[in-house]
Structure 1
């Protein structure tokens, strides 16, 4: 069962020589962005050849939203009016956001549960940047950041989880309260302050000071393993007790996706969540196997749909195109 969708590492870093972004002038921001660009694209390493530099001031709102829906940039970076940029590698597993809440947000994402590998890759990029950038660092407190909760390692480690049964039974709320005592939190699909759709949640650490990167990651793995097991146990339980009812719900969702002519984003996410569980429980084994339901969830988000069509379209047109896209891929 693929309860874990992805693993993510994000490192917050700042230049020692510049004020934090909230006090940065436009000229300083432009200079800082160019230094960050040079640190990667002009590096003599092979890694440098893998990255594309994107000036976000030159991108439309739609293009920025496409990147946000794919988790390449944050909702906050989309909203910023100051000079901003992002460096993205070819397979989009690494992105370096420039002039977000901190000067640099180095992010690594892998579509699996191997967070140790994600950390290894992200840390390598951090080391490469540090070869030419002097970070704001304090011997006692560690890396200095705009928000005090990021001071220390500057590390946010997280998993994206698909937990529809924990959500439906209300047990997820209890888990949120319990893990808060250990310095962890659960948020929506796109992080803090974002709405949850398709039963997708991010679990991440809240504390970065006083713990090593390894300690943070190891504790996250332990907590997440327990949550994943609870979701799996509940799935087995409901199938054992109410198999016909669950099968009926899953096939109704599959049928709607297969034949609907209009689907809102929220409805599509809920139905795709049901179908994902159906494939994982073996209830849809006679239907054509979809390689990655999560890809369908991403590519039917509003901005990504409009990118595929090549223009801005109305909500009604989006709902029609979303239904068509899903029909063609199921």
Structure 2
């Protein structure tokens, strides 16, 4: 499958635009050298993704921090000459020979994650946390498959709940769920230029259990975002629920996992969890009333349990520091 001449021309124009923009400091500009561009511009994945699909958001948004997205799973290998150095740089040393460990949630260590804040003084809640190549029918097909999975959870007293498609949700309900941090909004300009917002809101939706402690976002930035959360600091209970939910879903819809990079995501920055502190409305938002959302930033090279334990230890230390004030 040859890459069309007009696509190659757009790739070359994008490279030129990046090089002529001194204000651009993205990892895309840093690692899209002439050699890398020439090596990748004629390549195409089996699903038809090209280098243009990878870089177009970063070319359109010169203030991007990373600037690349993976249109499909194969892109991480097909365009490795660009992705590998970006991943290594962003994640602080995860070179081409590095390999993500096998999946391990730490089911046998949940008892070690004691409640960090039994009196409820410091922790309000605990939470854990591909698109350009999808057709409208693909979105609907994926939504249908995951709805069947959710239907199978009905009898589960903890995970059972209801799925709400965005297409049939009133604006009032959407805004209320967004305000309460249960629902996602349409993607920003970076995702828009990466073609992540096509056919919106077709095939998108949210599932949650009765207590809203188990939430699944469908076809937001990635195919699924599975969230376990609750008030307080009982990390072990949150992780236990997440393990049960992930296993129940993956038993019917296997996830895309790479031997080297682990679970694959649309944006390479999400491959990785370092401790991350942000405002209560998400990344780049301001804090209100001294409340922060604390989560892992770096996860490459860590098992799922190690990442949770890293976050747990970090919060424990923050509480100790708060008590000392």
Fold-level similarity (TM above 0.5): yes
Normalized against structure 2, the TM-score is what? 0.56
- 3-state DSSP class of the match of 2:217? strand
Aligned to 2:298: 207
Rounded to whole Å, the distance in 2 between the matches of 1:63 and 1:26 is: 24
Show CA shifts across 1:128-181 (max 9, x none): 1111112111122211111113227xxx6xxxxxxxxxxxxxxxxxxxxxxxxx
How far the C-alpha of 1:57 sits from its partner, in A, is 1.4
Instruction: Return the structure number with greater helix share.
Output: 1
Aligned to 2:224: 104
Residues 1:25 and 2:145 aligned together: no
Q: Which consecutive residues of structure 1, in runs of 5 or more, have no partner in the other structure?
A: 11-19, 157-182, 235-330
Residues 1:54 and 2:167 aligned together: no
Cα contact 2:271–2:300 (8 A) shared by 1: yes
Show CA shifts across 1:98-144 (max 9, x none): 00110000001110101121011012111111111121111222111
Aligned to 1:223: 314
- CA 195–119 in structure 1, closer or farther in 2 if over 3 Å, else same: same
Cα contact 1:74–1:190 (8 A) shared by 2: no
Bigger shift: residues 126-135 or 54-63: 54-63
Residues 1:118 and 2:209 aligned together: no
Rounded to whole Å, the distance in 2 between the matches of 1:141 and 1:45 is: 35
Cα contact 1:150–1:209 (8 A) shared by 2: no
Instruction: Return the structure number with greater strand share.
Output: 1
Moved over 6 A (4+): none
- CA 44–64 in structure 1, closer or farther in 2 if over 3 Å, else same: closer
Aligned to 1:4: 123
Match of 1:88 among 183, 198, 208: 208
Aligned to 1:144: 264
Kindly report the root-mean-square deviation, in angstroms, between the aligned alpha carbons of the 2 structures: 2.3
Alignment of 1:1-330 (within 5 A): 2-10=121-129, 20-43=130-153, 46=156, 50-76=160-186, 81-83=200-202, 84-151=204-271, 183-234=274-325
Rounded to whole Å, the distance in 2 between the matches of 1:212 and 1:106 is: 17
Q: Which consecutive residues of structure 2, in runs of 5 or more, have no partner in the other structure?
A: 1-119
